[in-house]
Amino acid sequence: MASPIADQQGEAAATARPSRWPVIERSLRDRRRSLTSWALGIAVYVALIVAFWPSIRGSSEISKAIEETTFEQKGLYPNVDFYAASVYHVLGIPTDLMTPIFAAARMAGWTAHVREQYQDNKVIRPASVYVGPRDRTYTPIEERDLPDAD
């Protein structure tokens, strides 16, 4: 570390930067970039909300009604794509592009799962417990008693 010298007020002053200065400087620069990006993101978000508020409000009301109806009739809540589709619609993204966007958003996760499976040499399956009947025999479809399709 550099030796301090006395300045005019009698306080010790460093003659060189501390050895850890490059790390501190890099951290400050990264934080400044991060905060700038964050602030810009918030500004864009607020601008979009203000610009699209009438559409967002209408879309939100429709989405809420569909969510409630689906839960009442099927006992299910919609997945995140349902809400994302509402946002994409308000932003003017064509319906035909929504499925590819949903898939692109999941590709990192899918890729991570495949890599984990190759790394461990086993298929990763969600934890679940089968509660249906066991030890059933297979009946070819031609031999099954199926109801008539009317």
| pLDDT given for residue 105 in this prediction | 84
Q: What percent of the chain has pLDDT over 70?
A: 73
Phi then psi dihedrals of residue 132, to 5 deg = -80, -175
User: In which band, very low, low, confident or very high, does the pLDDT at 7 lie, cut at 50, 70 and 90?
Assistant: very low
Residue type, 112: A
Mean pLDDT (the chain, rounded): 76
Greatest CA separation for the chain: 103
On whether the pTM is more than 0.85, the answer is: no
d(CA 9, CA 82): 67
Report DSSP state, residue 145.
-
